[in-house]
Each structure stands twice: as C-alpha cells, then as structure tokens.
Amino acid sequence: MNILLINPPDDNLIECYAYSNGEAGIDSPDFGKFPSLGLLYILGYLEKNAPEYNLFIIDCVAEKITYQELKSKILKIRPDLVGITSFSIALIDVIKTAGIVRELFPKAHICMGGHHPMAFPAEALQLKEFDSIIVGDGEIPFYMLAKAIEKNKPLKDITGLYTKETIPAYMLENKCGKKEDSRFLYPVSLVPSYVENLDDLPFPSRKYLSHVQFFSIVGISKKFTTVISSRGCPFHCVMCDVPYKKYRARSIKNIADEIEECVKEGYEEFHFYDDMFNITPERIIEFSKEIMSRKLKIIWDFRGRVNTVTKESLEIAKKSGLRMISFGVETGTNEGLRYIKKDTTVEKIKEVFQICSDLKIKTIADYMIGFPFEKTKRDIDESIKFCISIKPAYALFSVLILFPNTPIYNEAAVKKLIDPERWHKFCLNPSKDFYVDYWEEFFTRKQLLDFQKTAFRRFYLRLSYVLQSIKNISTFNEFLMKAKGCFLLLKK
C-alpha cells in the first residue's frame, strides 16, 4: 500500500492580518519555516507498526511546491491512502489538494486531519472531496484506517475516525448532542482519539524532510528543528483556541532520547513548540539536568508563561544551552491580564524579564492589540510602552483574532459585534474573500492593523535597539535572519 501525507500549498490562505482592500499586514508566516511535526509523528508511528507500507510526505509549504508540481508528485506516488493536514484558514487549499488527488486517483481514500475537523467536524464531513476525518490525535486512528482499508474491514469501530456513513449513526446513538469533556476546550460532539501516554508514541520521523532547511527568524543555526514535549494547555486564556486543555507531558527521558537522536542526525538548535513547555519550574530543572548529564551540546528555546519560572530554574536551564524564551505577555496592564486570565501581573513580568536579562537569556514578548479593555489610542500606546520598558530581545505584535469556540468569541457574539454563522458558512463553502473577526467595538479593522504596524516599527526601528542588535549578533546565520526580518518589516 502506498500512503501519502500532504501539507497543502498556502496559495489561498486566509490572511489573518489583511486590510479590507486586500493589502497584507504583518503575518506569522513571515517569521520562520517549521516542520509539520504532526505528519512526521504519523510517519513515525506507521514506520514502527506497519513497516510493510510505502510511506511518502509532500510538505508543499516547506518544499515550496506548486499545484502543478504537486500533481506530478502524486502521479508518481500513486497513493492508495492520502492524509491531508488542515487548519480552518487554509481550507481552500486543503479542498483543492484533495480535489487533485480525487481527480487523479478516484479510488484513493482521502482523510482530513489536523485542527479543522477538531473544531468543525460536522462541516468537514460534508465536504465531498473527503472520505473520512480524524478528530483528535492522529497517529493511532490513521494507522487503523490503513489496516482496515488493506483488509477491507469496516471503519465504524475506529475511535476518532468518522465517515459520512458512520457519523449519522453515532449522532443518533448520542442524542444528547455535545458533551462536556474536561480534556478539551469546548464540548465535543464526537469522541476524539486521545493518546494518554505520549511516551508510547515513536518519535517523529524527520528523515522524510531532511532535505529541507527549516529556520526561525529569531534562531541562530542552520541545523534547526522543533520538538513537542507535551500536548495541551491547562490554562484558560479567553482568546486561546488550543483544543486540548488536559496537559499531557512526555517523560524527561523520552524527550532527551529524541534530542539525542536528533543531535546524531546533525541538528543543533531546538525550538520547543509546546503550547505550554514550562508547566512547573521543576520540569525545567529536571530537563536541563538530563541534557547536561548526557553532555548534549545544544541550543534550545521554548514558549511559556512568566508565572511558572523561577530564577533557579532559569540558571540551570541556561547552563544546559537555553538561549531564548518566548513569553505570552499579551498586554501591559494588570486590568488587562486579569481579563485575559493570564494568572500573572505586570510586576511578575518585569521581574522575570529582568532575571532573563541578568542571565543573558534572550526573550520574546508576544503581544496582542485590540482587546475589549483597550478603548482608546492611549490604552494601546501605554501597552506598547510597557513592552519596550521590559526590554525583550524581540517582540511580536498581533491583532486579537476572535476564533470560534473561545470565550471572547462568544462574548463578541452576544454583543452582536460578529456574525457567529460566518465560520459555519465558510467551512461548507470557503472563499478567498472571507476575513477573520477582530473586536471592532472601539476601533476599525484598519486602525487595529495600523496600530500593529506602528508597534513593530516603534519597537524595532529605535536607534538604541538597532545598535544593540548589531552588537549582539553572534553568528552569520543570525545576521542573515535579522536582516531578513528587517527587510520584511520595512517592506510592510
């Protein structure tokens, strides 16, 4: 059996930061190229449990593959089973990719996975291009799907896998509709696939994309990759649409084993892509000590929260190779932090950023503009000033997006600031003129995007920041990454 996994092109991606006239703003794809770890995890699972299959991956974004090139590659592979990863904002390309497969190989089974069927399962199953969807963790149900197809067995007993035939029976059996499940952000209508012990999963099989040079614009090495040490985030920030709320952590030994394997493959820099890496200071300490005990010379960074680090944990992490931390600061007032439910204060943020500065750990301050409590230009100006005052090495400014299934989205719907049916209609018939919603009670879309551009320029184009950045460049690759970032900023 030939099994193909695809990360579709992003030609028709819905721009999250685009003006009403179509002019592009500053979007996250500008800041790096990262491997599709979800697909690589599935390949790793299939390699271990079904080595008899022929496995392929096409990462159109990472490999810069056009639709014409994609068509040629699919023709050569002749797949029997195709898995396509998805995000809702990429739905046009997801459908177009599935349509190409269907046209070339009408009998191939096409399965959609990723974030979209988790958020919109009923809508995803109504798309004619797909035979099935996976809701939840994809490794086990996709493997079981392959086995069922090979042996011509029914699919109805595969947890997390749904088809147009099985979903009506399931919905009829569960007449009460959506059910509360503490493992997830929102009530679920379908039972998801869920891997309780992440150590049971094989490592992602990076060899399939070893020819691609991944990078972070704030990284320093050409030998860069990402790692996921946990799944889920137990916190409840009002704007976050991460579906998994129960925190599942891999063991420290398991994580270190994967990093050691990557080091042998030539990787030097590791970005932990967890929704929540530093769940406790003790976990940082334990991981850092394990890396040092194995004498692994690596550079690493993570995304985390300021309220779960201590000076002691950061001192030990620095010794193990920690170079940088990306903190979700979001805003610069205690009032705003309380509204967002960040469980921290501006005083704690200042303290942690100062500790990082003293230890020479670089910091990124992730910020959002356009919360309901930012009612005047002065409110936004004060928040940007706070960001500058804590002196992060980098700052990323985004406009608050109202994603479905989040508390702030529901609040906006109650206030009639948005039409809650727009996403449902888009998921059934996506078009390029769709736009994501902002909180436009006090500012227009254009004003919010202008504030975002202003924030980037105020932070990065300060003479003192430019001179300090040049002084702190440690590698030629870091110089190239910073030069690219400056070009992108000036271009906008």
Q: In sequence order, which residues have a C-beta less than 8 Å from that of residue 487 and are 6 or more positions away? A: none
* pLDDT surpassing 50 at residue 179: yes
DSSP 229-278: -EE------TT---SB-S-EE--HHHHHHHHHHHHHTT--EEEE--S-S-
Q: pLDDT tens for residues 228-262? A: 999 988 888 999 887 767 889 999 999 999 999 99
Q: Helix axis angle, 445-460 relative to 463-472, nearest 10°?
A: 60
Burial 3-38 (b: 16+ CB within 10 A, else e): bbbbbbbeebbbbbbbeeeeeebbeeebbbbbbbbb
Bridge partner residues of 215 (DSSP): 33
Q: Would you place residue 63 in the very low, low, confident or very high pLDDT band (cuts 50, 70, 90)?
A: very high
Could you give the 3-state DSSP secondary structure of residue 8? coil
* pLDDT at residue number 293: 98
How high is the mean pLDDT of the chain? 90
* pLDDT at residue number 183: 59
| Domains of the chain, CATH where assigned | 2-196 (3.40.50.280), 213-401+438-491 (3.80.30.20)
Question: In which element (H, E) is residue 445 found?
Answer: helix 445-460
Question: In which element (H, E) is residue 111 found?
Answer: strand 109-112
* pLDDT at residue number 286: 98
Place of tokens 């994580």: 255
Q: pLDDT tens for residues 288-330? A: 999 999 999 999 999 999 999 999 999 999 999 999 999 999 9
* pLDDT at residue number 127: 96
Sheet hosting strand 269-272, strand order edge to edge: 224-227, 269-272, 299-304, 322-330, 362-369, 394-399
- Cα(276)–Cα(303) distance, rounded to whole angstroms? 7
Q: Would you place residue 20 in the very low, low, confident or very high pLDDT band (cuts 50, 70, 90)?
A: confident
SS3 content of the chain, % helix, strand, coil (to 5): 45, 15, 40
Q: Which of 76-80, 339-343, 473-477 is most confident?
A: 76-80
Q: pLDDT tens for residues 372-426? A: 999 999 999 999 999 999 999 999 999 999 999 899 999 999 999 999 999 999 9
* pLDDT surpassing 70 at residue 168: no
Work out the angle at residue 411's Cα, subtended by the Cα atoms of residues 408 and 414, and round it to the nearest 5 degrees: 155
pTM for the model: 0.91
* pLDDT at residue number 172: 46
* pLDDT surpassing 80 at residue 8: yes
* pLDDT at residue number 165: 87
- Cα(442)–Cα(445) distance, rounded to whole angstroms? 10
Nearest one of 396, 432, 490 to 22, comparing CA atoms? 432
Q: pLDDT tens for residues 347-376? A: 999 999 999 999 999 999 999 999 999 999
Nearest one of 230, 37, 248, 39 to 134, comparing CA atoms? 39
* pLDDT at residue number 482: 56
* pLDDT surpassing 50 at residue 446: yes
Q: What is the mean pLDDT of residues 13-36?
A: 77
Burial 132-150 (b: 16+ CB within 10 A, else e): bbbbbbbbbbbbbbbebbe
Nearest one of 229, 364, 351 to 283, comparing CA atoms? 229
Q: Would you place residue 186 in the very low, low, confident or very high pLDDT band (cuts 50, 70, 90)?
A: low
- Cα(453)–Cα(449) distance, rounded to whole angstroms? 6
End-to-end CA distance of the chain: 47
Could you give the 3-state DSSP secondary structure of residue 339? helix
